Amino acid sequence: MTDGLVLSIDGMGGDNAPDIVVEGVNIAAQRSPGVRFLLHGDAVRLNALLERYAAAKAASVVEHADKAIGMEIKAAQAMRQGKGSSLWNAVEAVKDGRANAIVSAGNTGAFMAISMFRLRTMEGVHRPALTTRWPNAKGGYTVLLDVGANVEANAEQLVEFAIMGEAFARAVNGTARPSVALLNVGAEEQKGHEEIRAAAQLIRDTGVDLNFNGFVEGDDIAKGTVDVVVTDGFTGNIALKTGEGTARLVGQFLREALTGGLMAKLGALIAYPALKKLSKRMDPGTFNGALFLGLNGLVVKSHGSANGAGFAAAIGVAEKMARSSYREEIAHNLVRLASAHAETAKVGDAG
């Protein structure tokens, strides 16, 4: 039985494709039996893998693609040569209305470029933002954007990111009224560069429907001080990569400490259930799935190095977003933002 939801999957994207892609689809198909999948890529390889995974085979249709875009390919080259590739065809399925969302673990730059070219941005959105989640001390996840799509962002674009991130948090984290803040070098009103202060003022002046909490600092991301942290892609990407690197370092230190001798190994054995829970909590695969927000279509990016479970997590993000009303919520606040700008322009012309 199908519930009408179809997800378009780049079967050849990622470091370990297509094996982990099909494994991830199988996990997702077991979790959500009503979802259907369009798998794009080498039909011979994909169909052979599907023979090993009953749930994925029952839920999937394979659409052959002659080409795959490698992880080393530049975005401009992908735009020139990518037509007919598994990634291009996966995006095209959403553009044509045959699928509700796209998931790929492939080349980020190529994925972004092709998605923007084929899907375009939503009305009122100047630039899309790459959005992800980070585990926090409160047991949930903090939404962070932009984490790499835009190196710079002006005040209006930061407000657009805030609007989109708030809708994402509601859809994926299930938070009814997400709190939103701008990432800054301090919480005081006078701190930060001109764009960040102007964005805060714009949120207050335009009356957009946000639970706005002003400024937060870098450590507030992991604390879970607010549900959504907004910044430009340069700062956001550094924050994300620093966090991921720190998580791996802590994991390494922990393994070294617990395998250093007989007593350490005994202690590790006793603490195994708690350590297993900690490891799962810190594993980026468990909260895998970044979204290019602001496009006329749902575009979910998985870690390129994800395993099957990690890819299934990215599919889960796509499913939640596809079942949500986030586009309508974003559109509502973007109209308010545009109206406020129009009023400001009238006042300026009159003066």
Per-residue pLDDT reduced to its tens digit, 84-130: 999 999 999 999 999 999 999 999 889 999 999 999 988 888 888 99
**Over residues 190-214, mean pLDDT:** 86
Whether residue 75 has pLDDT greater than 90: no
| Mean of pLDDT values over 221-248 | 89
Residue 145 has pLDDT above 80, yes or no: yes
The b-or-e profile of 194-215 (16+ CB within 10 A means b, else e) is ebbbbbbebbeebebebebbeb
Q: What is the percent of the chain with per-residue pLDDT over 70, rounded to a whole number?
A: 88
Q: Do domains 1-125+294-324 and 131-287 have the same CATH topology?
A: yes
Domain spans in the chain, listed from the N-terminal domain onward: 1-125+294-324, 131-287
Mean per-residue pLDDT for 316-342? 80
Q: Give the integer Cα–Cα distance in Å for 320 and 32.
A: 11
Kindly give, in sequence order, each residue whose CB lies less than 8 Å from that of residue 190, ignoring residues fewer than 6 positions away: 197
pLDDT of residue 205: 84
pLDDT score for 246 = 80
Confidence of residue 337 (pLDDT cuts 50, 70, 90): confident
Most confident of 129-133, 225-229, 232-236, 267-271: 225-229
**Is 347's pLDDT higher than 50?**
no
Q: How far apart are CA 146 and CA 153, in angstroms?
A: 9
Q: Are 121 and 164 in contact (CB under 8 A)?
A: no
pLDDT higher than threshold 60 for residue 345 = no
Mean pLDDT of 178-182: 95
Split at pLDDT 50, 70, 90, the class of 343 is low
Q: What is the mean predicted confidence (pLDDT) over 318-325?
A: 89
Average pLDDT of the chain to the nearest whole number: 86
Nearest to 99 by CA among 322, 290, 326: 322
Q: Are 179 and 228 in contact (CB under 8 A)?
A: yes
The beta-strand segments (E) located in the chain are 6-10, 36-41, 60-64, 101-104, 129-135, 141-145, 179-183, 211-216, 228-230, 290-293, 298-301
**Was domain 131-287 assigned CATH 3.40.718.10?**
yes
For 260-281, what is each residue's pLDDT tens digit?
A: 777 667 766 666 676 666 666 6
Beta bridge partners of 38: 8, 61
- Evaluate if residue 288 carries a pLDDT over 50: yes
The predicted pLDDT at position 249 comes to 80
Could you tell me the two tokens for 112? 């972004």
Cis peptide before 220 (omega within 30 of 0): no
Q: What is the pTM of this model?
A: 0.83
CATH class of 1-125+294-324: alpha beta
Query: Stretch 189-194: mean pLDDT, rounded?
Result: 79
Question: What is the pLDDT at residue 117?
Answer: 92
Work out the average pLDDT over 22-37.
96
Position 284 pLDDT exceeds 70: no
